[in-house]
Chains A and B, each alone.
Chain A
Amino acid sequence: MATWRLSSVPGLAFAAALCVWAPATPAAAQPAQASGCETCHRAQAQPALAAPARDFGATDVHRDRGFTCVDCHGGNPSETDKTRAKAPATGFKGKPAGQMVIAVCARCHSDAALMRKYAPKQRVDQAVEYATSVHGQQLAKGDTKVATCVSCHGAHGVRLVSDAQSPVYVTNVAATCTTCHADAERMKGYHLPDGSPLPTDQRTKYEKSVHHAAMVQGNDLSAPTCNDCHGNHGAAPPGVGAIANVCGTCHTVFATKFALSTHSQIFDRSCVECHSNHEIAKPTDAMLGTDKAALCADCHSEGDNGHKAATAMRSSIEKLKDAIARSAALVAEAENAGMEMGGQQLALREAGNQLTLARTEMHAFDPKPVEDVLQAGLGITAKVDAEGQAALAEVSYRRTGLAISLGAILLVVVALSLKIRSLK
């Protein structure tokens, strides 16, 4: 069976041919009226034939902008006779598949002049990117099981990416990708670059990750999903050497620190070595150090420099954590006693920032800068402790003052009462 390759000469020729038969684009963004195609297809008993007309007629971004069936499928919608409507002279193409889907979509979406009329900010290189993706490369090899535009965006009833009901809306991406990638039967025969079978548990793992929690529980739509690491139209697994760059897109400082470390030269899978890929758990201080739960002990043994560095960094971090907890308890006690401790609360936040900074510095795996930052944090907690103690002393002073004042007032009241009685 002949396959269309967009990157090949026949593919481009096909795209050019589509441009020739393409009808004039709608002048204004007016929703299209129901065409003869729709009228006829809606009446079909077979769901597969009726569904496209129904979906396209309900909500479709293309329909909303005046496009009709003929813009993708060809044909003559004004003909009432099925045969004449689909005659070769009408340019009827039927249901596009494989490379033809890419070509049909790219006919408009790769046309910068045309797209400027509808979505001037939208990129027009999706088809080029797709050709570089694993999907695109497999398709070029003749593998028709791989995803094309319609696999992710839908064919009829296409919605804007920003529409929460779109299958490619940020919160739906994982479900859309795993429609295929969690299907063990469908994934059979595909392999990772190292030759191992392509896993199908990515979504299960991703849903346990800190990224998924940020998106679903924290409503953070900027939290990463599949396409943020793998790309969307150019979807492919990041190369081993590129992982730090991919993670560093968001975790910039960590990536910079990591690049300074000796680990960056040794770790084959950089960040993934400690944090894994799809099932990225919330990092804890327990990951650092040399006890059983710590990751460092997996490679380092007692006496080596790495072992010493890990022990020192973990110990310093725990010291600051304890100091912050102690200071916070003291500040809370003073606040409960009615003291204004806003300044101290602010200082404690700064101490917390130093702790975060130390955890960041740790990615260079050099104890010296970590210790410097932690000492700054300990300096803050020491000052807060002193102020907290002073506040508690002030509370005691105020209570003594009140007791004396109330005693004096009581004496005056008794004296007045006696005076009033004597006047009677």
Chain B
Amino acid sequence: MTQHVFAWLDERLDLSGLRAFIAEKTVPKHRHSVWYYMGGITLFLVGVQVATGILLLLYYRPSAGEAYESVQFIVSHVEFGWLIRNLHSWSGNLLILMAFVHLFSTFFLRAYRKPRELTWVTGVLLLFVMMGFGFSGYLLPWNELAFFATKVGTGIAGAVPLVGDFLVRFLRGGDDVTGATLTRFYGIHVAILPAITTVLLGVHLLLIQRQGMSVPPSVEKREKAGETIPQEPFFPNYVLHDVMWWYVALAVLAALALFLPWELGKKADAFASVPAGIRPEWYFLAMFQTLKLIPSHVLGIEGEMLGVMGFNVAAVLLLVMPFLDRRAADGRPNRIVTLAGILAVIYLIVFTIYGYLAA
């Protein structure tokens, strides 16, 4: 049957090029190969997000008066609505976790070095977009915790010099977090960010297919010395490996969705007092905790502004890393970059845990 369909398409579209590409494409096999699957799992989770997000769209109503009730309806009255909502929430979180793992594995294996600079840049931009998805999606159930966390989160944007006030108003759609913010976040979450993701992800995947998998500098050195690096066919070997990992991810997701369902909490009330222990999602927690620890003024500069600027600088440095690490391009080790990466991982883990304990 499959062969008949393929033959029917081949007759009309001439798929010989695609057939040859799949038949010839190989993936290097070495002791770091396992990290290749992190990107695949991340991609799978993006697929889960798209599928569950579309299903949620069928019932979700993006207004301050109806959002909370519609989510309540989804989880209590829609057939398997609880599963779809929990999968969407958990998958969103696992997606960002896997994107971080993918980013750091790529970073430490120096996969960003020439000629894969653009793959890195699109990947880092995708991580930022995913965090944007998390931030905008967090408000959509319109519950108390999300409402106040968004108030704090959007308020931090006010610390950006010169354009801070504009940014806050732009994000909130007014001076405060209201129904207008919800509508705006909804638009960003289901239209603007998906459009950007489609372009970035398309370029990212195209570049990977075009340039093939990067091998670590140590493996490349052995290759240059004349050693043959084992390869495995992309299809079906690598694809089956990938699929196997996807199934594992699906099993983890299903178990999380059932045993740790995402709480809906209380409906947002602008006049209610701020709930105790308010904090953002875990992937913003390290930054949030850092901002809390910075003194109100450092050398005459407002502490929060300094912190926000620091994060912006770090984001830009991360984005342009391939262009800064010239030694990697030449296949030489760069201890400073490795040390910076290790410190970044330690900082993120320690401050995230600290943020949880402090709250």
Contact = CB atoms under 8 A, between A and B. Distances in A.
B316 interface: no
Given A338-B259, A405-B254, A413-B248, A423 B72 contact: no
A413 B258 CA distance: 21
A266 to B, nearest CB: 46
B264 interface: yes
Interface size class of A (residues with CB under 8 A): 20 to 34
A340 B75 contact: yes
Interface string A378-420: 0000000000000000000011001001100110110011011
A342 interface: yes
B7 interface: no
A406 B83 CA distance: 15
Interface residues of B, number: 22
Contacts, number: 54
B241 A340 contact: no
Interface of A is mostly: helix
Contacts of A419: 236, 240
A399 B243 CA distance: 25
A416 B244 contact: yes
Nearest to A387: B76
Contact of B240 (A402, A410, A423): A423
Contacts of B251: 405-406, 409-410, 413
B244 A343 contact: no
Contacts of B76: 339-340, 342-343
Contacts of A338: 82, 258-261
A409 B259 contact: no
Contacts of B72: 340, 342-343
Contacts of B199: none
Interface of B is mostly: helix
Interface in B240-294: 240-241, 243-244, 247-248, 250-251, 254-255, 258-261, 264
A416 B243 contact: yes
Contact of A416 (B240, B255, B261): B240
A287 to B, nearest CB: 34
B241 to A, nearest CB: 6
B245 to A, nearest CB: 9
A339 B243 CA distance: 32
Given A342-B72, A420-B240, A412 B247 contact: yes
Nearest to B71: A340
Q: For B76, B82, B259, B264, which residue has the most chain A Cβ atoms within 10 angstroms?
A: B76
B254 A402 contact: yes
Contacts of A417: 244
A409 B247 CA distance: 6
B237 A413 contact: no
Contact of A420 (B83, B244, B250, B258): B244
A423 B232 CA distance: 10
B193 to A, nearest CB: 27
Contacts of B260: 338
B247 A413 contact: yes
A402 B258 contact: yes
A338 B85 CA distance: 12
Contacts of A340: 72, 75-76, 82, 264
B75 A423 contact: no
Interface in A316-346: 338-340, 342-343
B88 to A, nearest CB: 15
A365 B357 CA distance: 55
A61 B83 CA distance: 66
Interface string B217-245: 00000000000000000001100110110
A409 B250 contact: yes
Contacts of A339: 76
A410 B252 CA distance: 11
Contacts of B244: 413, 416-417, 420
A406 B255 contact: yes
A336 B297 CA distance: 45
Nearest to A402: B258
Given A413-B244, A423-B237, A402 B255 contact: yes
A412 B246 CA distance: 11
A382 B187 CA distance: 43
A409 B243 CA distance: 11
Contact of A399 (B83, B241, B258): B258
Contacts of B250: 409
Nearest to A415: B244
B143 to A, nearest CB: 11
Q: For A340, A399, A406, which residue has the most chain B Cβ atoms within 10 angstroms?
A: A340
A416 B247 contact: yes
A141 to B, nearest CB: 53
A247 B244 CA distance: 74
Nearest to B86: A338
Contacts of B254: 402, 405-406, 409
A398 B258 contact: yes
A349 B243 CA distance: 49
Given A405-B254, A410-B251, A420 B241 contact: yes
Contacts of B264: 340, 342
A406 B256 CA distance: 12
A349 to B, nearest CB: 13
A233 B159 CA distance: 55
Interface of B: 72, 75-76, 82-83, 236-237, 240-241, 243-244, 247-248, 250-251, 254-255, 258-261, 264
7 contacts: A338-B259, A338-B260, A338-B261, A398-B258, A399-B258, A402-B255, A419-B240
For the complex of A and B, the 10 pairs showing the least CB-CB separation, nearest first, are: A338-B261, A416-B244, A340-B76, A340-B75, A409-B251, A402-B258, A413-B247, A409-B247, A420-B240, A423-B237
Interface of A: 338-340, 342-343, 398-399, 402, 405-406, 409-410, 412-413, 416-417, 419-420, 423-424
Given A398-B83, A416-B240, A417-B244, 9 more contacts: A340-B82, A342-B72, A342-B264, A399-B258, A402-B258, A405-B254, A409-B248, A413-B244, A416-B247
